A = this chain, B = another copy of it.
Amino acid sequence: MADPIPRRPDASRQRNLSRILRRIHVAPATRSDLTRLTGLNRSTIGTLVADLTERGLAIEDDASSAGQIGRPSPLVRPSDRPVAMTVNPEIDAITVGVVQLGGRVLRKDRIEVSHRPSVAEAVAVTAEAVARISADLAGDHDVVGLGAAVPGIVRMPDGFVRIAPHLGWRDVAFGEQLQAATGLPVQAANDAILGAQAEWIFGAGRGSDDLLYVNGGASGIGGGIVSGGAPLRGASGHAGEIGHVTVRRGGSLDSAGQQGTLESEVHRAGLLRALGLPTASPDEFERILLASKAGAVTSEVHRQIDSLVVALATAVNLLNPSRIVLGGFLGSLAAVDLRRIRDGVAAHSLDPLWDGVDIRRSQLGSDLLTIGAAQLPIEALIAGL
Protein backbone atom coordinates (compact mmCIF):
# COMPACT_ATOMS: atom_id res chain seq x y z
CA MET A 1 0.00 0.00 0.00
CA ALA A 2 2.93 2.30 -0.49
CA ASP A 3 1.03 4.19 -3.09
CA PRO A 4 1.41 7.95 -3.09
CA ILE A 5 3.90 7.99 -5.92
CA PRO A 6 4.44 11.35 -7.56
CA ARG A 7 4.22 10.25 -11.12
CA ARG A 8 7.16 11.15 -13.31
CA PRO A 9 6.97 10.91 -17.05
CA ASP A 10 8.23 7.69 -18.61
CA ALA A 11 7.84 5.78 -15.38
CA SER A 12 8.25 2.46 -17.10
CA ARG A 13 11.37 3.47 -19.01
CA GLN A 14 12.88 4.96 -15.89
CA ARG A 15 12.21 1.84 -13.93
CA ASN A 16 13.83 -0.37 -16.54
CA LEU A 17 16.86 1.87 -16.78
CA SER A 18 17.16 1.73 -12.99
CA ARG A 19 16.89 -2.02 -12.97
CA ILE A 20 19.67 -2.38 -15.50
CA LEU A 21 21.97 0.14 -13.88
CA ARG A 22 21.42 -1.46 -10.47
CA ARG A 23 22.24 -4.87 -11.91
CA ILE A 24 25.48 -3.83 -13.51
CA HIS A 25 26.39 -1.86 -10.39
CA VAL A 26 26.17 -5.08 -8.41
CA ALA A 27 28.04 -7.03 -11.06
CA PRO A 28 28.82 -6.52 -14.76
CA ALA A 29 26.59 -8.53 -17.06
CA THR A 30 26.37 -9.28 -20.74
CA ARG A 31 23.45 -8.00 -22.72
CA SER A 32 22.03 -11.49 -22.98
CA ASP A 33 22.30 -11.82 -19.19
CA LEU A 34 20.26 -8.67 -18.92
CA THR A 35 17.57 -9.96 -21.24
CA ARG A 36 17.25 -13.08 -19.13
CA LEU A 37 17.36 -11.25 -15.81
CA THR A 38 14.88 -8.54 -16.71
CA GLY A 39 12.61 -10.50 -19.02
CA LEU A 40 12.75 -7.68 -21.53
CA ASN A 41 13.24 -8.12 -25.22
CA ARG A 42 16.71 -8.14 -26.83
CA SER A 43 15.89 -5.05 -28.80
CA THR A 44 14.65 -3.21 -25.74
CA ILE A 45 17.80 -4.06 -23.82
CA GLY A 46 19.72 -2.69 -26.77
CA THR A 47 18.03 0.70 -26.62
CA LEU A 48 18.20 0.84 -22.82
CA VAL A 49 21.91 0.08 -22.74
CA ALA A 50 22.49 2.61 -25.49
CA ASP A 51 20.60 5.14 -23.41
CA LEU A 52 22.76 4.46 -20.34
CA THR A 53 25.90 4.66 -22.45
CA GLU A 54 24.87 8.00 -23.90
CA ARG A 55 24.29 9.35 -20.41
CA GLY A 56 27.80 8.29 -19.46
CA LEU A 57 26.67 5.74 -16.91
CA ALA A 58 27.59 2.52 -18.65
CA ILE A 59 30.13 1.22 -21.13
CA GLU A 60 30.18 -1.88 -23.30
CA ASP A 61 33.24 -4.08 -23.46
CA ASP A 62 33.76 -6.41 -26.37
CA ALA A 63 35.93 -8.51 -24.13
CA SER A 64 33.61 -11.45 -23.70
CA SER A 65 35.22 -14.50 -25.33
CA ALA A 66 33.51 -16.72 -22.80
CA GLY A 67 33.91 -19.74 -25.06
CA GLN A 68 30.15 -19.85 -25.38
CA ILE A 69 28.63 -21.12 -28.57
CA GLY A 70 26.95 -18.49 -30.70
CA ARG A 71 27.59 -14.83 -31.20
CA PRO A 72 29.32 -13.32 -28.19
CA SER A 73 27.40 -10.77 -26.16
CA PRO A 74 29.14 -7.59 -25.10
CA LEU A 75 29.76 -7.09 -21.42
CA VAL A 76 27.97 -4.10 -19.94
CA ARG A 77 29.64 -2.51 -16.97
CA PRO A 78 29.24 0.78 -15.17
CA SER A 79 31.26 3.69 -16.43
CA ASP A 80 34.14 4.74 -14.21
CA ARG A 81 33.35 8.43 -14.55
CA PRO A 82 30.58 8.82 -12.00
CA VAL A 83 31.79 8.52 -8.42
CA ALA A 84 30.30 8.95 -4.99
CA MET A 85 32.17 10.71 -2.24
CA THR A 86 31.87 9.37 1.28
CA VAL A 87 32.62 10.46 4.81
CA ASN A 88 32.83 8.49 8.03
CA PRO A 89 33.38 10.60 11.15
CA GLU A 90 34.92 8.69 14.02
CA ILE A 91 36.33 9.48 17.41
CA ASP A 92 39.95 9.76 16.28
CA ALA A 93 39.73 10.33 12.55
CA ILE A 94 37.50 11.38 9.71
CA THR A 95 37.69 9.20 6.63
CA VAL A 96 36.78 10.66 3.27
CA GLY A 97 36.56 8.35 0.29
CA VAL A 98 35.75 8.09 -3.38
CA VAL A 99 33.85 5.09 -4.74
CA GLN A 100 32.95 4.21 -8.29
CA LEU A 101 29.82 2.62 -9.59
CA GLY A 102 30.49 -1.06 -9.20
CA GLY A 103 31.82 -0.55 -5.69
CA ARG A 104 35.49 0.00 -6.34
CA VAL A 105 37.13 2.29 -3.79
CA LEU A 106 39.24 4.76 -5.75
CA ARG A 107 40.62 6.61 -2.81
CA LYS A 108 40.38 6.74 0.94
CA ASP A 109 41.87 9.58 2.95
CA ARG A 110 42.00 9.10 6.68
CA ILE A 111 42.33 12.48 8.37
CA GLU A 112 43.45 12.02 11.96
CA VAL A 113 42.02 14.41 14.50
CA SER A 114 43.63 15.22 17.82
CA HIS A 115 40.42 15.13 19.81
CA ARG A 116 36.84 13.97 19.48
CA PRO A 117 35.54 16.19 16.67
CA SER A 118 32.61 18.48 17.19
CA VAL A 119 30.01 18.69 14.47
CA ALA A 120 31.44 21.95 13.19
CA GLU A 121 34.94 20.51 13.12
CA ALA A 122 33.79 17.37 11.34
CA VAL A 123 31.95 19.44 8.75
CA ALA A 124 34.95 21.70 8.22
CA VAL A 125 37.44 18.85 7.90
CA THR A 126 35.12 17.01 5.52
CA ALA A 127 34.47 20.05 3.38
CA GLU A 128 38.17 20.72 3.05
CA ALA A 129 38.95 17.13 2.14
CA VAL A 130 36.07 17.00 -0.34
CA ALA A 131 37.28 20.18 -2.02
CA ARG A 132 40.84 18.91 -2.22
CA ILE A 133 39.85 15.52 -3.58
CA SER A 134 37.32 17.01 -5.98
CA ALA A 135 40.05 19.15 -7.46
CA ASP A 136 42.15 16.04 -8.03
CA LEU A 137 39.24 14.26 -9.65
CA ALA A 138 38.13 17.15 -11.82
CA GLY A 139 37.96 16.22 -15.47
CA ASP A 140 38.21 12.50 -14.91
CA HIS A 141 35.16 11.94 -12.76
CA ASP A 142 31.75 13.35 -11.95
CA VAL A 143 30.80 13.43 -8.30
CA VAL A 144 27.16 12.41 -7.93
CA GLY A 145 26.83 13.08 -4.22
CA LEU A 146 28.19 12.65 -0.75
CA GLY A 147 27.19 9.82 1.56
CA ALA A 148 27.87 9.89 5.28
CA ALA A 149 28.10 6.88 7.56
CA VAL A 150 27.59 8.10 11.10
CA PRO A 151 28.11 5.99 14.23
CA GLY A 152 24.78 6.90 15.76
CA ILE A 153 21.07 7.15 15.16
CA VAL A 154 20.36 9.11 12.01
CA ARG A 155 16.92 10.06 10.75
CA MET A 156 16.66 8.71 7.30
CA PRO A 157 15.09 11.20 4.94
CA ASP A 158 17.09 14.23 6.07
CA GLY A 159 20.31 12.99 7.64
CA PHE A 160 19.51 14.54 10.99
CA VAL A 161 21.65 12.98 13.73
CA ARG A 162 19.50 12.17 16.73
CA ILE A 163 22.23 10.72 18.90
CA ALA A 164 25.82 9.75 18.24
CA PRO A 165 26.97 8.81 21.74
CA HIS A 166 30.49 7.96 20.76
CA LEU A 167 31.02 11.34 19.13
CA GLY A 168 29.00 13.22 21.72
CA TRP A 169 26.63 14.59 19.07
CA ARG A 170 22.96 15.06 19.76
CA ASP A 171 20.19 16.45 17.59
CA VAL A 172 22.33 18.10 14.95
CA ALA A 173 21.51 18.64 11.30
CA PHE A 174 24.71 17.02 10.13
CA GLY A 175 23.39 16.29 6.66
CA GLU A 176 22.22 19.84 6.06
CA GLN A 177 25.43 21.38 7.36
CA LEU A 178 27.52 19.09 5.20
CA GLN A 179 25.42 19.94 2.18
CA ALA A 180 25.86 23.66 2.81
CA ALA A 181 29.60 23.30 3.33
CA THR A 182 30.34 21.08 0.35
CA GLY A 183 27.69 22.08 -2.15
CA LEU A 184 27.05 18.42 -2.85
CA PRO A 185 23.79 16.56 -2.37
CA VAL A 186 24.26 14.80 0.97
CA GLN A 187 22.61 11.79 2.50
CA ALA A 188 23.50 10.29 5.85
CA ALA A 189 22.62 7.12 7.67
CA ASN A 190 23.69 4.91 10.51
CA ASP A 191 27.02 3.21 9.88
CA ALA A 192 25.88 -0.33 10.63
CA ILE A 193 22.91 0.02 8.31
CA LEU A 194 25.25 1.11 5.54
CA GLY A 195 27.67 -1.66 6.42
CA ALA A 196 24.81 -4.09 6.03
CA GLN A 197 24.10 -2.79 2.56
CA ALA A 198 27.77 -3.02 1.59
CA GLU A 199 28.09 -6.61 2.76
CA TRP A 200 24.77 -7.43 1.13
CA ILE A 201 25.77 -6.16 -2.29
CA PHE A 202 29.51 -6.76 -2.39
CA GLY A 203 30.42 -8.91 0.59
CA ALA A 204 29.38 -11.91 2.63
CA GLY A 205 25.70 -11.19 2.11
CA ARG A 206 25.76 -11.46 -1.65
CA GLY A 207 22.90 -13.46 -3.06
CA SER A 208 20.76 -13.34 0.05
CA ASP A 209 17.46 -11.48 0.02
CA ASP A 210 16.97 -11.64 3.78
CA LEU A 211 20.06 -10.61 5.64
CA LEU A 212 20.96 -9.57 9.14
CA TYR A 213 24.27 -7.80 9.56
CA VAL A 214 25.63 -7.21 13.04
CA ASN A 215 28.71 -5.13 13.60
CA GLY A 216 30.84 -5.04 16.70
CA GLY A 217 32.58 -1.69 17.00
CA ALA A 218 34.89 -0.27 19.61
CA SER A 219 32.04 1.63 21.20
CA GLY A 220 29.03 -0.59 20.72
CA ILE A 221 27.07 -2.94 18.54
CA GLY A 222 24.98 -1.93 15.58
CA GLY A 223 23.07 -3.75 12.94
CA GLY A 224 21.33 -3.49 9.64
CA ILE A 225 18.60 -5.54 8.04
CA VAL A 226 17.82 -6.45 4.47
CA SER A 227 14.45 -8.06 4.01
CA GLY A 228 12.77 -9.21 0.85
CA GLY A 229 15.65 -7.92 -1.25
CA ALA A 230 15.52 -4.37 0.08
CA PRO A 231 17.00 -2.55 3.04
CA LEU A 232 14.60 -2.46 5.97
CA ARG A 233 14.25 1.12 7.13
CA GLY A 234 11.45 1.32 9.63
CA ALA A 235 9.32 4.37 10.27
CA SER A 236 12.21 6.81 10.58
CA GLY A 237 15.08 4.85 9.13
CA HIS A 238 16.39 3.59 12.45
CA ALA A 239 15.65 -0.11 12.13
CA GLY A 240 18.39 -2.55 13.08
CA GLU A 241 19.49 -1.35 16.52
CA ILE A 242 20.21 -4.83 17.75
CA GLY A 243 22.86 -3.59 20.18
CA HIS A 244 20.19 -2.42 22.59
CA VAL A 245 18.14 -5.57 22.52
CA THR A 246 17.72 -7.03 26.00
CA VAL A 247 19.49 -10.35 26.50
CA ARG A 248 19.18 -10.67 30.26
CA ARG A 249 17.64 -9.07 33.31
CA GLY A 250 19.98 -6.89 35.30
CA GLY A 251 23.61 -6.64 34.32
CA SER A 252 25.64 -3.60 33.51
CA LEU A 253 24.69 -0.51 31.53
CA ASP A 254 25.18 0.14 27.85
CA SER A 255 25.92 3.41 26.06
CA ALA A 256 22.25 4.36 26.21
CA GLY A 257 22.05 3.68 29.94
CA GLN A 258 20.11 0.46 29.61
CA GLN A 259 20.67 -2.74 31.51
CA GLY A 260 21.33 -6.21 30.21
CA THR A 261 21.39 -5.33 26.54
CA LEU A 262 23.53 -7.03 23.92
CA GLU A 263 26.15 -4.31 23.92
CA SER A 264 26.34 -4.18 27.70
CA GLU A 265 27.20 -7.89 27.72
CA VAL A 266 29.20 -8.23 24.53
CA HIS A 267 32.00 -5.77 24.00
CA ARG A 268 35.53 -5.55 22.78
CA ALA A 269 36.67 -4.10 26.11
CA GLY A 270 35.84 -7.31 27.95
CA LEU A 271 37.92 -9.36 25.55
CA LEU A 272 40.83 -6.94 25.73
CA ARG A 273 40.68 -7.15 29.50
CA ALA A 274 40.75 -10.93 29.44
CA LEU A 275 43.69 -10.80 27.05
CA GLY A 276 45.49 -8.31 29.27
CA LEU A 277 45.81 -5.80 26.46
CA PRO A 278 45.27 -2.09 26.91
CA THR A 279 44.37 -1.65 23.25
CA ALA A 280 44.96 -3.23 19.88
CA SER A 281 44.24 -2.76 16.21
CA PRO A 282 41.52 -5.02 14.82
CA ASP A 283 44.00 -7.29 13.02
CA GLU A 284 46.32 -7.52 15.99
CA PHE A 285 43.36 -8.10 18.26
CA GLU A 286 42.13 -11.05 16.24
CA ARG A 287 45.59 -12.58 15.90
CA ILE A 288 46.17 -12.48 19.64
CA LEU A 289 42.65 -13.66 20.40
CA LEU A 290 43.02 -16.66 18.11
CA ALA A 291 46.41 -17.52 19.58
CA SER A 292 45.35 -17.29 23.21
CA LYS A 293 44.75 -20.47 25.13
CA ALA A 294 44.19 -18.88 28.54
CA GLY A 295 41.17 -20.11 30.46
CA ALA A 296 40.08 -16.57 31.31
CA VAL A 297 39.97 -15.69 27.64
CA THR A 298 38.02 -18.79 26.66
CA SER A 299 35.50 -18.23 29.40
CA GLU A 300 35.02 -14.59 28.41
CA VAL A 301 34.61 -15.59 24.77
CA HIS A 302 32.03 -18.18 25.78
CA ARG A 303 30.22 -15.73 28.01
CA GLN A 304 29.98 -13.17 25.24
CA ILE A 305 28.96 -15.69 22.62
CA ASP A 306 26.25 -17.00 24.92
CA SER A 307 24.80 -13.51 25.11
CA LEU A 308 25.27 -12.83 21.41
CA VAL A 309 23.33 -15.91 20.38
CA VAL A 310 20.32 -14.81 22.41
CA ALA A 311 20.12 -11.57 20.45
CA LEU A 312 20.74 -13.32 17.14
CA ALA A 313 18.08 -15.93 17.87
CA THR A 314 15.66 -13.16 18.74
CA ALA A 315 16.33 -11.58 15.37
CA VAL A 316 15.94 -14.93 13.64
CA ASN A 317 12.55 -15.47 15.26
CA LEU A 318 11.37 -11.98 14.39
CA LEU A 319 12.85 -11.55 10.93
CA ASN A 320 13.35 -15.04 9.47
CA PRO A 321 16.59 -14.15 7.67
CA SER A 322 18.47 -16.56 5.45
CA ARG A 323 21.89 -15.22 6.36
CA ILE A 324 23.60 -13.52 9.26
CA VAL A 325 26.87 -11.66 8.75
CA LEU A 326 29.07 -10.75 11.69
CA GLY A 327 31.42 -7.81 11.38
CA GLY A 328 33.97 -6.02 13.54
CA PHE A 329 35.08 -7.88 16.66
CA LEU A 330 32.00 -10.11 16.31
CA GLY A 331 33.70 -11.43 13.20
CA SER A 332 36.69 -12.24 15.39
CA LEU A 333 34.41 -14.10 17.80
CA ALA A 334 33.11 -16.04 14.81
CA ALA A 335 36.70 -16.84 13.83
CA VAL A 336 37.34 -18.23 17.32
CA ASP A 337 34.23 -20.36 17.68
CA LEU A 338 31.68 -20.16 14.88
CA ARG A 339 30.39 -23.55 15.91
CA ARG A 340 29.33 -22.32 19.34
CA ILE A 341 27.54 -19.38 17.74
CA ARG A 342 25.67 -21.57 15.30
CA ASP A 343 24.70 -24.10 17.93
CA GLY A 344 23.61 -21.37 20.31
CA VAL A 345 21.41 -19.60 17.79
CA ALA A 346 19.95 -22.94 16.75
CA ALA A 347 19.12 -23.74 20.34
CA HIS A 348 17.40 -20.42 20.98
CA SER A 349 15.43 -20.07 17.77
CA LEU A 350 12.53 -22.03 16.38
CA ASP A 351 13.55 -24.92 14.18
CA PRO A 352 11.69 -23.91 11.03
CA LEU A 353 13.15 -20.42 11.25
CA TRP A 354 16.66 -21.60 11.99
CA ASP A 355 16.44 -23.97 9.06
CA GLY A 356 18.77 -22.78 6.36
CA VAL A 357 20.24 -19.80 8.18
CA ASP A 358 23.84 -19.28 7.24
CA ILE A 359 26.08 -17.42 9.68
CA ARG A 360 29.29 -15.96 8.25
CA ARG A 361 31.81 -13.33 9.09
CA SER A 362 32.07 -10.15 7.07
CA GLN A 363 34.35 -9.81 4.05
CA LEU A 364 34.85 -6.17 3.26
CA GLY A 365 37.25 -5.22 6.03
CA SER A 366 38.31 -1.61 6.19
CA ASP A 367 36.43 -0.61 3.03
CA LEU A 368 33.11 -1.52 4.60
CA LEU A 369 31.86 1.90 5.60
CA THR A 370 33.27 3.67 2.56
CA ILE A 371 31.45 1.32 0.23
CA GLY A 372 28.35 1.45 2.40
CA ALA A 373 28.23 5.23 2.54
CA ALA A 374 28.70 5.41 -1.22
CA GLN A 375 25.60 3.32 -1.61
CA LEU A 376 23.46 6.31 -0.58
CA PRO A 377 24.29 8.65 -3.46
CA ILE A 378 24.68 5.75 -5.87
CA GLU A 379 21.24 4.37 -5.11
CA ALA A 380 19.86 7.90 -5.42
CA LEU A 381 21.48 8.14 -8.84
CA ILE A 382 20.09 4.78 -9.89
CA ALA A 383 16.59 5.43 -8.62
CA GLY A 384 16.55 8.98 -9.94
CA LEU A 385 16.93 8.11 -13.59
Docked CA distance A204–B269 (Å): 44
Asked if residues A234 and B210 are in contact (CB atoms below 8 Å), the reply is yes
Tell me if A381 is interfacial: C-beta within 8 Å of chain B.
no
Residues on B with beta carbons closer than 8 Å to the beta carbon of A248: 248-249
Residues on B with beta carbons closer than 8 Å to the beta carbon of A313: 246
Docked CA distance A228–B3 (Å): 11
Asked if residues A1 and B242 are in contact (CB atoms below 8 Å), the reply is no
Tell me if A351 is interfacial: C-beta within 8 Å of chain B.
yes
Tell me if A314 is interfacial: C-beta within 8 Å of chain B.
yes
Docked CA distance A12–B5 (Å): 14
| Contact with A19, one of B3, B238, B353 (Cβ below 8 angstroms) | B3
Task: Using known A-B contacts A249-B248, A315-B318, determine if residue A230 contacts B352 with beta carbons closer than 8 Å.
Answer: no
Asked if residues A244 and B349 are in contact (CB atoms below 8 Å), the reply is yes
Task: Using known A-B contacts A22-B1, A248-B248, determine if residue A352 contacts B238 with beta carbons closer than 8 Å.
Answer: yes
Asked if residues B351 and A235 are in contact (CB atoms below 8 Å), the reply is no
* A40, A245, A321: residue with the most chain B Cβ atoms closer than 10 Å: A245
Asked if residues B348 and A258 are in contact (CB atoms below 8 Å), the reply is yes
* A7, A38, A223, A227: residue with the most chain B Cβ atoms closer than 10 Å: A227
Tell me if A322 is interfacial: C-beta within 8 Å of chain B.
yes
Asked if residues A238 and B37 are in contact (CB atoms below 8 Å), the reply is no
Asked if residues B352 and A163 are in contact (CB atoms below 8 Å), the reply is yes
Tell me if A168 is interfacial: C-beta within 8 Å of chain B.
no
Q: Which residue of B lies closest to A229 (CB)?
A: B2
| Contact with A321, one of B235, B320, B352 (Cβ below 8 angstroms) | B235
Residues on B with beta carbons closer than 8 Å to the beta carbon of A229: 1-3
Tell me if A280 is interfacial: C-beta within 8 Å of chain B.
no
Asked if residues A239 and B319 are in contact (CB atoms below 8 Å), the reply is yes
Task: Using known A-B contacts A248-B248, A258-B348, determine if residue A210 contacts B227 with beta carbons closer than 8 Å.
Answer: no
> How many Å from the CB of A358 to the closest CB on chain B?
10
Docked CA distance A40–B3 (Å): 12
Residues on B with beta carbons closer than 8 Å to the beta carbon of A314: 245-246, 314, 318
Tell me if A372 is interfacial: C-beta within 8 Å of chain B.
no
Tell me if A302 is interfacial: C-beta within 8 Å of chain B.
no
CB contacts under 8 Å to B, within A313-362, are 313-315, 317-322, 348-353, 355-356
Task: Using known A-B contacts A153-B353, A350-B256, determine if residue A318 contacts B239 with beta carbons closer than 8 Å.
Answer: yes
Asked if residues B242 and A317 are in contact (CB atoms below 8 Å), the reply is yes
Docked CA distance A40–B11 (Å): 11
Docked CA distance A64–B6 (Å): 29
Docked CA distance A4–B228 (Å): 13
Residues on B with beta carbons closer than 8 Å to the beta carbon of A321: 234-235
Tell me if A90 is interfacial: C-beta within 8 Å of chain B.
no
Tell me if A240 is interfacial: C-beta within 8 Å of chain B.
yes
Task: Using known A-B contacts A163-B351, A236-B356, determine if residue A241 contacts B318 with beta carbons closer than 8 Å.
Answer: yes
Asked if residues A236 and B310 are in contact (CB atoms below 8 Å), the reply is no
Pick the 6 closest A-B CB pairs, nearest first.
Answer: A234-B320, A7-B39, A2-B229, A235-B322, A162-B352, A239-B320
**15 pairs of residues in contact across A and B, judged by CB atoms under 8 Å:** A3-B23, A5-B38, A7-B39, A223-B318, A227-B227, A232-B232, A233-B320, A235-B321, A236-B320, A239-B320, A242-B318, A245-B317, A248-B248, A258-B348, A318-B318
